[in-house]
Each structure stands twice: as structure tokens, then as C-alpha cells.
Homo-oligomer: A and B are copies of this chain.
Amino acid sequence: MNRREFMLAGGALLAAGLSPTLFADTHVPLKVLALVFDDYETLDLHGPIEMLGHLPSVEITLIGPKTIVRSYQGPRVVADRLLDDVVECDLLLIPGGMGTRKLVDDTRLLTWLTRQVQVSKKVFSVCTGAALLAKADLLNGVSATTNKMAYAWVTGLNDKVIWQPSARWVDDGRFLTSSGVSAGTDAALFYIAQQFGEAQARKIEVLTEYQWNSDADKDPYAVIS
């Protein structure tokens, strides 16, 4: 069973209330690569990192256009790698934020993203992170969602994406796309459940005293047209 088949099987098991524990007890760390850039949205990045960071074995690497990157809220993070590299990973995390408004026209970034997606087993965008994927033509024919406060702008970038106006997150095989900011934290727990079993996700939910909105179809911020 390859990774994609496993993920699909995992989704079916999850729907049936069972846990796909095939990978749960292995000691191979899950490799997470997260893009950072000036004016990224704080929680888009750090909500998923909080949840993924509690897996028993995980390595989280930040990659960006320069070493020190400033969030939209002010505080700065340190990129471990620069965009000269592409890095094989299990999960590529693409946060959103005001910085994406410039980055959709940044050829260096879009070229890197296209190459990086090719070596990433799964790609997970939060909020307007989907704008970057859409602009690079990486979501064509894919069912996806994005921030509902910036829905018109993001969806206007590419009409070949099957945009979903009402979804906390959308899982379409290799691409997991979440709605705005906080929805990324919920989608990260979904990914954990899909890959490591629901029990693992629930354990992390308790550890972080979180209240997981675990239903992807329940979107309090859905766009009503």
C-alpha cells in the first residue's frame, strides 16, 4: 500500500470510527516543512505546529526567503532553510496572511513552490496560503477552500480550482486546504487523525486543552452567495 492508498484507507477508517494505526508506533519522524515569509499570519503557522509538534516523533523545519522573518503581528521567527533548497518531506505547510498579497506575484517563490510540492507527500495550506498554490496552478482540478474573509480575492486568482465556499477544511488526496487562521489548527488535528489514528489526535487535543472542531462540514464562516 503506497502513501496515497494509505491516506485514502485512513479516511475510510476514520469515517468508520476506527484508527489507522499502521504508522502510529514507528519511530521514523514525520518530516514537516513549513514556509515562512514576511507578514505571514501568526496562528496559520503556529496553530498547526502546536498540534503536529506533539506527535511522538516529528521534525519541524521552517523554510523562507531569508533567515529572519517577521509575522504580520510583529514577532520574528528564524528560518532553518532558505528557498534555494527543496526538501523531501511528509507534509508541506503553507500558511497565509497579508504577505501572500505580494507573494502571488513573486516568481522566485512560485517557482520554488512548484518544485517543492513535487517532493512533498502531502501539501497543507491554511487561510490564504491556498492563494500561492492556486496562482502557481498547483490546485487546478483540486477541490479546495481558503479564508472566508478573503474568499473573493483568492478564488479570483484561478477559476480552475474547485473552490468550496462552505468547509472548515477540504481534504482532496494530496492537498489539504483549510479555511482562515484558526481552521488550520482543526485541519492539523484532522491530518494527525488520518495519519496516526483518531486516538492520537484526541490525545493531543487533551494535552493542549483544545476544543477541536472536528467536523470539516461545519463552517461557521461559510460564504453564502
Cα A76 to Cα B180 with chains together (Å): 24
Contact between chains at B209 and A211 (CB < 8 Å): no
User: A65 at interface (Cβ–Cβ under 8 A)?
Assistant: no
Which residues of chain B are within 8 angstroms of A179 by Cβ–Cβ distance? 209
**30 residue pairs A–B, Cβ–Cβ below 8 Å:** A43-B46, A43-B47, A43-B208, A49-B74, A49-B75, A50-B73, A52-B73, A53-B73, A59-B74, A60-B74, A61-B74, A62-B75, A62-B76, A75-B77, A75-B78, A76-B78, A76-B80, A77-B77, A77-B78, A78-B78, A149-B206, A180-B209, A181-B207, A181-B208, A181-B209, A182-B209, A206-B221, A209-B221, A211-B213, A211-B220
Chain A interface (Cβ < 8 Å from any Cβ of B): 34, 41-43, 45-47, 49-50, 52-54, 58-62, 68, 71-78, 80, 147-149, 179-183, 206-211, 213, 220-221
Which 8 pairs between the two chains have the least Cβ-Cβ distance?
A53-B73, A46-B46, A180-B209, A43-B50, A76-B78, A181-B208, A182-B210, A60-B74
